[in-house]
Amino acid sequence: MALRIFTLLFFFFTSVELLFGQTELEVMQQQLIEIKKKETEIANQIEDLKLKASIVKLNELGIPTSKNNLDIAEHSAMILGFDCNSKLAAWSFHVLSPDVLIGGVSRTNDFRKDSLIECGDGIEQDYFTKKLQDDGTYKFENFGFDRGHLAPSADFRWSQKALSESYFYSNMTPQTPGFNRESWAEVEDLMRRIMANTPKPYYIITGPILDKNLLKVEKGVNKLPIPAFHYKIIADVSGENPKGMAFLMPNKKCDMPPSAYVVSIDSIEKLTGLDFFSKIDVSNAQKIESKADFSLWNAQTKEGDVEPLYVFDLPKGHFNTAQALSKVGSKVSIIGKVVSAKFAAKSQATFLNLDQSFPHQLFTVTIWKDARRNFSYKPEDDLSGKYIVVTGLVEMDKNGLPVINVTNEKQIKLWEEEEE
């Protein structure tokens, strides 16, 4: 009986299929299309919920407060505090989410005005002008500054909507090309590396240091002020030991690595008059805002690398590897961990990279062939993995990186011995 019913149903559906002119393959392909449509619909709903959750969290932590009147613009994934007098944001606040690690949204470059800023933000003609030529191309006159992001577009690669909104002019400041494309980009990459090494949400506040006496982009329509400094704050509020740090950098190509520009969040509050994370309880706020210790953060690009030693933990006359570049031409003592060591058989020279290995090295100790004769041990073996103090003249190598050329073993001491 069951077999007869199955047979009748089979012929019925086959007849329906023939009636509508669809083969079994076409029916399944149509089903797949419908499934994909549903999948896209659900993915959009999930993204929308994530966006709403991020804004809720920003408000829970407390947006920066100020004695000055600021226009507050709450977008899909970032909140801005806009200073109408300067026509620049005093701060941007967003979540750096692990979703960035799997996000595939590309740059949109759809720079445009922010409709939420009632007093009006910047425009294209604040940064450059373009004139259509007879051949259909444009002739550009650049005013010397990039449209530099505060909240970087790459932090929103997981959301087309949020990434596009990062191109509002309210999220831009005039930045020198060397700063925007190199030094500032390096700090932005560092934030994402911290998040990638320890995936969790991090809370980022970025802004310019605004001052009435700043120079202006004179050729621009709004004559925007040119910030002399920008700051970026990162906070980890998870667990029992929340932490934070800030970067304060001049608006130019910076010579030293980002770790050299770390300051406390408290110091940025004093400079700006802003109160960050205004709803966090006092004890946790103290933990987040009082320290300026880069070594607390997992920011390595390669296993085995370490952060330069904390500047304020070093004895007088001693410097970490991040400071070495600023000491070129001086005889000083540099402290760091030998994270990679190489003996070049052909030249008979030894190269010790401290704290950061090739190709991200910060500082190198070089022992040439003739100098090796003055060593009673093999430096590449006996010093590997140890913290050492190297004393000598800091010079610049052919790649523009700081180096001390050591001539005898007395120039190198173990850090533990130095501390004793």
Identify the band that residue 260 occupies on the pLDDT scale cut at 50, 70 and 90: confident
What are residue 212's phi and psi, to 5 degrees? -65, -20
pLDDT digits (tens, 9 = 90+) for 218-248: 999 999 999 999 999 999 999 888 999 999 9
Identify the band that residue 19 occupies on the pLDDT scale cut at 50, 70 and 90: very low
The answer to whether residue 340 scores a pLDDT higher than 80 is yes
Please indicate, yes or no, whether residues 332 and 273 belong to a single structural domain of this protein: no
- Residue whose pair of structure tokens reads 């393959």 in the numeric block: 25
Q: What is the mean pLDDT of the chain?
A: 90
Identify the band that residue 4 occupies on the pLDDT scale cut at 50, 70 and 90: low
Please indicate, yes or no, whether residues 263 and 363 belong to a single structural domain of this protein: no
Identify the band that residue 65 occupies on the pLDDT scale cut at 50, 70 and 90: very high
pLDDT digits (tens, 9 = 90+) for 396-414: 988 888 999 999 999 999 9
Domain boundary among 296, 321, 340: 296
Is 50 inside a domain boundary?
no
Domain of residue 206, CATH code: 3.40.570.10
CA–CA distances in Å: residue 384 to residues 130, 310, 389 = 56, 21, 13
Is 94 inside a domain boundary?
yes
Please indicate, yes or no, whether residues 410 and 283 belong to a single structural domain of this protein: no
Is 92 inside a domain boundary?
yes
Is 25 inside a domain boundary?
no
DSSP 249: E
Please indicate, yes or no, whether residues 274 and 372 belong to a single structural domain of this protein: no
Domain boundary among 269, 296, 323: 296
Please indicate, yes or no, whether residues 336 and 409 belong to a single structural domain of this protein: yes
Please indicate, yes or no, whether residues 288 and 317 belong to a single structural domain of this protein: no
Domain boundary among 296, 324, 352: 296
- Residue 1's pLDDT is what? 55
Domain of residue 394, CATH code: 2.40.50.140
- Residue 188's pLDDT is what? 96
Owning domain of residue 352: 311-419
Cis peptide bond prior to 359, omega within 30° of 0 = yes
Is 29 inside a domain boundary?
no
- Residue whose pair of structure tokens reads 């990062």 in the numeric block: 166
Is 197 inside a domain boundary?
yes
Whole-angstrom distance, CA of residue 179 vs CA of residue 186: 9
Identify the band that residue 78 occupies on the pLDDT scale cut at 50, 70 and 90: very high
Is 301 inside a domain boundary?
no
**Number of structural domains found in the chain:** 2
Please indicate, yes or no, whether residues 135 and 85 belong to a single structural domain of this protein: yes
Is 195 inside a domain boundary?
yes
- Residue 14's pLDDT is what? 52
Please indicate, yes or no, whether residues 230 and 348 belong to a single structural domain of this protein: no
Q: Pick left, alpha or beta for residue 73 (phi over 0 → left; psi -120 to 50 → alpha; otherwise beta).
A: beta
**Nearest Cα residue to 217 out of 159, 145, 270:** 145
Please indicate, yes or no, whether residues 203 and 86 belong to a single structural domain of this protein: yes
Please indicate, yes or no, whether residues 225 and 289 belong to a single structural domain of this protein: yes
Flag the least confident range among 18-27, 125-134, 182-191, 348-357: 18-27
Please indicate, yes or no, whether residues 243 and 367 belong to a single structural domain of this protein: no
Please indicate, yes or no, whether residues 339 and 270 belong to a single structural domain of this protein: no
